[in-house]
Amino acid sequence: ALVGRDFLPRGSDICTRRPLVLQLVQIKRKPDGTEEEYGEFLHKVGKRFYDFNDIRREIQAETDKEAGGNKGVSDKQIRLKIFSPNVLDITLVDLPGITKVPVGDQPSDIEARIRTMIMSYIKLPSCLILAVTPANSDLANSDALQIAGNADPDGYRTIGVITKLDIMDRGTDARNFLLGKVIPLRLGYVGVVNRSQ
């Protein structure tokens, strides 16, 4: 949503298998008022991607090239710049989610490896942490909030993102979490209804 385009790989299982360093660069509209949006990968110097579906395919291909096609994970970054008049100048890093049970070609210590990878990014004091947790799980036992708390114990750099509010179990309520009453964060929480898978 920060880019206004759908280009990140998605699915029901692990999708982000390498760190994606996404640099958003604001550019001016053309003199005639039209806008041009495109992406450039560091590993494809000089090539512009105007079709965001092609960007998604390139992320997937580059992920498979380094991490394999059977759910493997790598800490080698994919670097992508998105140029658009509709973005703010900011750099984001999309990291793999914590995997508890190895699948496919993942090593038996996959959880520890991913936690180490995540900590290497979020321990930096200049980093804002988006701790993403689905509302249809036990929010008090969120791995994302737990690891964010290790890197940011006072909650100064963490924003809680609670997804899937639309599919919570009947009778459950995320209100106290969203209000910061359960696990307080200085930057608060944002509730999200995800795009359909």
The CATH number assigned to the domain holding 40 equals 3.40.50.300
- Reported as a single tens digit per residue, the pLDDT across 59-85 is 999 998 988 777 778 899 999 999 999
Residue 116 belongs to some domain of the structure: no
Q: Same domain, yes or no, for 172 and 82?
A: no
- pLDDT at res. 196: 60
Cβ–Cβ under 8 Å, residues 72 and 105: yes
Residue 115 belongs to some domain of the structure: no
Cβ–Cβ under 8 Å, residues 35 and 85: yes
Cβ–Cβ under 8 Å, residues 149 and 184: no
Q: Same domain, yes or no, for 4 and 69?
A: yes
- Reported as a single tens digit per residue, the pLDDT across 132-185 is 998 888 888 889 999 999 999 999 999 999 988 888 877 778 888 899 998 899
Residue 112 belongs to some domain of the structure: no
Q: Same domain, yes or no, for 69 and 26?
A: yes
If one counts the domains in the chain, the total is 2
- What average pLDDT does the segment 92-97 reach? 90
Specify which of 106-110, 126-130, 164-168 reaches the highest per-range mean pLDDT. 126-130
Domain that holds residue 73: 1-96
Final residue of a structural domain among 46, 78, 96: 96
Q: CA angle at residue 197 from 105 to 137, to 5 degrees? A: 75
pTM across the whole model:
0.84
Cβ–Cβ under 8 Å, residues 148 and 123: no
Q: Same domain, yes or no, for 148 and 184?
A: yes
Residue 190 belongs to some domain of the structure: yes
Q: Same domain, yes or no, for 145 and 71?
A: no
| HSE-CB of 143 using CA atoms within 13 angstroms | 12
Final residue of a structural domain among 49, 79, 96: 96
70 phi and psi angles, rounded to 5 deg: -120, 55
